[in-house]
Amino acid sequence: MSELNIKFRDPEEVMKLSRLGSFHQSKLSFLRSFIREFKDWDYKRNLFDLDKNGYGTAVYSFSKNKRNYSLVCFAQHIDENERSDRVIATKWDAAFVLHDGLPTKDDIDRLKDNVPKQEVGRVSYKELTLSRANRSVRAFDHVVNSLSQGKQPDKSLLNKVGYLYRTTAVYGSGKFGLADRFRIKDRKEIYGPFRLEMMLVYLVRQFTFDQVNHIAKSKDPEKAAQLDIKIARNLGIGNSTGLGMAPFIVNHPTLLHQWIYCREKALKDIRSIKEVNNNDLNIFKDCLYKSKVSINSWLTDSNYQNGKINSLKSDLIKFDKYLKKCSIKIKHLWNEIYNWSEKNLQEEGLEYIVSMMMEPYDDIIDPLVNKMSSEEDEYFTIPTHKKVSDLKKILENNYKSIIKINFEEKNSTANFWFISKNKEEPRIANRYEEAGAELEQPLAIARDIKKLYEKILIAKQSKTIGEFLLVNDDVRHVVRRAFIIDRFQYSEIQDNTIGASLVPIDMLRLKLSFFGAVKFDPRSDKWLRINMYQGAPLSHELKKSNDTWVYNVIN
């Protein structure tokens, strides 16, 4: 490919929270890889039993060979004062479960008693993912009213909202009795991470369109219009995401590594291409051009996010000028583009260009998509036969900036992570102002690594780790992590997750960008709204869809 020796980017640079919080969706994102994997499956609406108000049960399925996955939807009436998009709500407009196979009547009856209750209900190993959603009242009612009068809804209103329903959680992997991952992990179609969560959200989106059409028709069977396909395509599913996501990326270090590694490997391989052909450059330019139109629809009241959007916009203006000078005659053009971007753009702009550079290269990206999962249990056991001196080297090589942090300063330990009793959800609070720090979760990795390092410095270097742990079990959790990072360089956030300057939504943004979410709209520093599948092909269009749907121009 190249005589250049392009290296992987340094984790000390990539794994900083401000950088991770500047990641954008890409060809590696799970929404997009889900559609690529399932586009040739057979889609079917198996049951649609709603009353005139749109309340009732519906079932949608994907089938291929003898495998079926079915979304079971339960829509119900709730009062306005019961509608909350916080995870702490107890009632929702609709609740959903992805069932393994086609549900029997008994299954549906069982699920009907449990799925609408969400966290306080129980599902079984036959169910794979669980979710709930609320209507975006202003968009939903407007669409229903317009359609029932035979008119299409106002596009400008829909562009502002971007969806008819907003989910507040999508659960998987054994929660509330759902199937454990080990039961299904060998299925080839779900090798990519979060495939079944992505499937659930995709099918929910179809349900929202069917429901508005159904209610509108029930209101006025004579006059009612069907929602225009182009308008529907530009609607996604909203999501409100809080701190629940943040511990996930700390608690799954090898998985985090696989995600970042695949992104970095793609970048390295693309930068190594010596001769770039015109077609590939044009795909890059085309996606970049279309995506810039989408950026104008990223609306938020958050000063933090507006700062990021404005930095991206001004970077892209700069980049445009630079790109005009680029030609395929330049050897290692992508490397030139990357080097220029690194020197001239801010983090938002740089990572945006990195995402765009992947667009022409199916041959590089496709093999990586199936490597974005991890058999985490394989790396759980600590290699206790190793020496303390080995561990010291690992800490010094992999936590260079973390071991320099002074945790004696109050600002370095300003926050603590905890699990709230009422909803069993992760939260963060000020250590010096709130009660509960003694029940802190093990998410202060930087502080605990520093503590381990200080212990290691005074321990006998020839001791085995087993011997060291006999009298130091308080740091066992970070000893495990240190041996993981020794093998998986991108497994750790290289920042202080309890410092006063922490912006928790940076942690959420990292995960959401890998999901493929767009339109980040922080509502505080602890939760945000996003959009998924906006522009995605509709169910009946899947087989003919192409992968650049995410850049479809918003009308």
Partner 1 sequence: MKSLSEVDTTSKRASRAAGYSWGISEEIGKAIRSLELFGLPGIENLNLYLKKIKKNHPKKIIKIDKENKSNELCPIYCGVAFLDQCNLLEKLKIIKFNNVNYPLLILPFISKCSEILGKRILIQFNNTSFLVSFNKSILSKNIDTKICDLASEIRIEFLENKNSFSEQDWNELYKLSEETFVEETESLRSKGAGAGLTDND
Residues that bind partner 1 (CB under 8 A): 124-125, 173-182, 377, 380-382, 384-385, 419, 442, 464-467, 469-471, 473-480
Q: How far is the CB of 221 from partner 1 (least distance, A)?
A: 45
Smaller CB separation from partner 1, 417 or 520 = 417
Contacts of 360 by beta carbon, 8 Å cutoff, 6+ apart: 279, 280, 281, 283, 284
DSSP codes, 436-453: -GGG--TT-HHHHHHHHH
Q: How far is the CB of 384 from partner 1 (least distance, A)?
A: 4
- Burial string for 327-343 (b: 16+ CB within 10 Å, else e) reads eeeeebbbbbbbebbee
Q: Where are the beta strands (DSSP E) in 299-434?
A: 415-419, 426-430
Q: How far is the CB of 73 from partner 1 (least distance, A)?
A: 23
Smaller CB separation from partner 1, 459 or 503 = 459
Reported residue count of the chain is 555
Whether residue 551 contacts residue 288, with contact meaning beta carbons closer than 8 Å, is answered with no
Smaller CB separation from partner 1, 469 or 500 = 469
Q: How far is the CB of 531 from partner 1 (least distance, A)?
A: 29
Pairing of strands 127-135, 163-171: antiparallel
Smaller CB separation from partner 1, 181 or 290 = 181
Q: How far is the CB of 553 from partner 1 (least distance, A)?
A: 42
Smaller CB separation from partner 1, 179 or 391 = 179
Q: How far is the CB of 377 from partner 1 (least distance, A)?
A: 7
CA distance linking residue 540 with residue 211, whole number of Å: 16
Whether residue 415 contacts residue 498, with contact meaning beta carbons closer than 8 Å, is answered with yes
Give the pair of three-digit tokens for residue 508. 């959420």
Q: How far is the CB of 91 from partner 1 (least distance, A)?
A: 24
Give the pair of three-digit tokens for residue 475. 């740091």
Q: How far is the CB of 542 from partner 1 (least distance, A)?
A: 31
- Burial string for 5-32 (b: 16+ CB within 10 Å, else e) reads ebeebebeebbbbebbbbbbbbbbbbbb
Phi and psi at 17, nearest 5°, equal -60, -35
- Measure the CA angle with vertex 159, ends 354 and 531; round to 5°: 50
Smaller CB separation from partner 1, 156 or 381 = 381
For the chain, how are helix, strand and coil distributed in percent, rounded to 5? 50, 15, 35
Smaller CB separation from partner 1, 56 or 177 = 177
Q: CB count, 10 Å around CB of 358? A: 22
Whether residue 99 contacts residue 72, with contact meaning beta carbons closer than 8 Å, is answered with yes
Smaller CB separation from partner 1, 471 or 553 = 471
Smaller CB separation from partner 1, 59 or 484 = 484
Smaller CB separation from partner 1, 33 or 413 = 413
Smaller CB separation from partner 1, 39 or 431 = 431
Phi and psi at 495, nearest 5°, equal -155, 170
Q: How far is the CB of 403 from partner 1 (least distance, A)?
A: 19
Smaller CB separation from partner 1, 4 or 470 = 470
Q: How far is the CB of 392 from partner 1 (least distance, A)?
A: 18
CA distance linking residue 247 with residue 255, whole number of Å: 13
Smaller CB separation from partner 1, 143 or 475 = 475
Q: Is 162 left (phi over 0), alpha (psi -120 to 50) or beta?
A: left
Q: How far is the CB of 448 from partner 1 (least distance, A)?
A: 9
Alpha-helical (H) ranges within 245-332 are: 245-251, 253-271, 278-295, 303-324
Q: How far is the CB of 44 from partner 1 (least distance, A)?
A: 29
Contacts of 78 by beta carbon, 8 Å cutoff, 6+ apart: 91, 92, 93
Q: How far is the CB of 130 from partner 1 (least distance, A)?
A: 12
Q: How far is the CB of 477 from partner 1 (least distance, A)?
A: 4
Amino acid type, 306: N
- The closest alpha carbon to 530, from 298, 285, 225, 344, belongs to 298
- Could you give the 3-state DSSP secondary structure of residue 499? coil
Smaller CB separation from partner 1, 12 or 440 = 440
Long-range contacts at 475-479 (CB < 8 A, ≥ 24 apart): 475/448, 475/451, 476/382, 477/442, 477/448, 478/445, 478/448, 478/449, 478/451, 478/452, 479/382, 479/391, 479/452
